[in-house]
Amino acid sequence: MANTQTALKEAMTTIEGSLGAALVDYSSGMALGTVGGGKDLDLTVAAAGNTDVVRAKVRTMEQLGLKDGIEDILITLGTQYHLIRLLKGRDSQGLFLYLALDKNRANLAMARHQLRKIEADLEV
């Protein structure tokens, strides 16, 4: 089992094109851990902003009466992918992994696969 910092470092090293990663509590909008980022990618701001995205989607699903769970939310920019993966474990309710990728270097399918593996090993 990996702790937060180990899991985020693994995302940065094993997922091609990773620019930054965070574990976020979407009830508060706070990043519980971050790796990467920089002046062009403030992961604290991204954590708070993506919390709004997750809350909006969860609320919309409730209003629609959908009884399904969200696996991933993908935001495609001109030069980046932003991948949000809601965690499923009992102890990880209300958490998501956030990963920003360089669109020219990343393989989106492999990134999703690796993020799923990292989630499975993550102990919060």
Split the chain (124 residues) into runs of 10 and give each run's mean pLDDT.
87 96 93 92 94 94 92 96 87 86 96 94 84
Which tokens hold the place of 51?
């919390």
The pLDDT value recorded for residue 89 is 67
The pLDDT value recorded for residue 54 is 94
The pLDDT value recorded for residue 48 is 93
Q: How far is CA 76 from CA 32, 45, 58, 85, 101, in A?
A: 24, 18, 20, 15, 10
Task: List phi, psi (to 5°) of 34.
Answer: -140, 150
The pLDDT value recorded for residue 90 is 57
